[in-house]
Amino acid sequence: EAQVTQNPRYLITVTGKKLTVTCSQNMNHEYMSWYRQDPGLGLRQIYYSMNVEVTDKGDVPEGYKVSRKEKRNFPLILESPSPNQTSLYFCASSWGGGSSGELFFGEGSRLTVL
Amino acid sequence: DAKTTQPPSMDCAEGRAANLPCNHSTISGNEYVYWYRQIHSQGPQYIIHGLKNNETNEMASLIITEDRKSSTLILPHATLRDTAVYYCIVRSNYGQNFVFGPGTRLSVLP
């Protein structure tokens, strides 16, 4: 089954404790992206990647890191989480080109930083 | 990327057609119009996309004006389960990012 898998789905952590949210897709997609969603602010993009070893900042990259060492994985790293990073996070993937631009989303990871 | 403008909210009666507008006046020739929706806190779901011709699938119809500066997503017979935030995105075929705006919150009323 084609899917984007995020882990963990729920996490409560404390300020400053490094964490990684993993994202994996099984569709051989070139494009992957991370979004955060906060009440009243819609989906805001954190980072995206057009292909392996190619990443770029989105609209709200501060406090986050990403890496794209393999095509299927695109982890989101919070080196020193702060309470303002409490949010609902979505990973997504798509073909990099072609006329089918369907973006597949994971189920979301709800993160709380105390 | 071309920007899009959508009304923040709309209501629709159950069983009636829901027509959601989107303005994209700066769209360029190789950019597609995509529609997604997000139900509650689930991951957004793809609905439909098109370049210049009108498109229809099992979920919806997409009407793009001849000058391509605006489009309308039509849900022909809205149900309560269509209550969601609907996002209109403009993106080219190759190597471009997906950027979501605030979208339109559609409420389907019984």
DSSP assignment of A22-82: EEEESS--SEEEEEEEETTTEEEEEEEEEETTEEEE-S--TT-EE--SSSSB--EEESS--
Tell the residue number behind the tokens 């339109």, with chain if given.
B104
Averaged pLDDT of chain B: 91
As a whole number of angstroms, the distance between CA B30 and CA B93 comes to: 7
- Whether omega before B44 lies within 30 degrees of 0, making that bond cis, reads no
pLDDT, position B28: 86
Residue ranges of chain B with per-residue pLDDT less than 50: none
Interface of B with A (CB under 8 A): 32, 34, 36, 38, 41-46, 49, 51, 85, 87, 91, 93-95, 97-103
Our CA-based measurement puts residue B90 at a distance from the nearest CA of chain A, in whole angstroms, of 11
Which helix or strand (DSSP H or E) is residue B50 part of?
strand B45-50
pLDDT in tens, A16-71: 999 999 999 999 998 899 999 998 888 899 999 988 999 999 989 999 999 999 99
Quick: pLDDT tens for A94-109. 886 555 568 899 999 9
pLDDT of residue A113: 97
Chain A residues with CB under 8 Å of B51 CB are 99
Contacts of B74 (CB under 8 A, 6+ apart): B17, B18, B19, B20, B60, B61, B62, B63
Say yes or no to pLDDT of A114 above 90: yes
Two structure tokens written together for A34: 């991370």
Of B41, B45, B102, the CB nearest to A88: B41
pLDDT score for B62 = 98
Distance between CA atoms of A113 and B62, rounded to whole angstroms? 41
Enumerate the residues of chain B whose CB falls inside 8 A of the CB of residue A41.
102
Phi then psi for residue B82, to 5 deg, are -85, -5
If DSSP codes are grouped into helix, strand and coil, which group holds residue B94?
coil
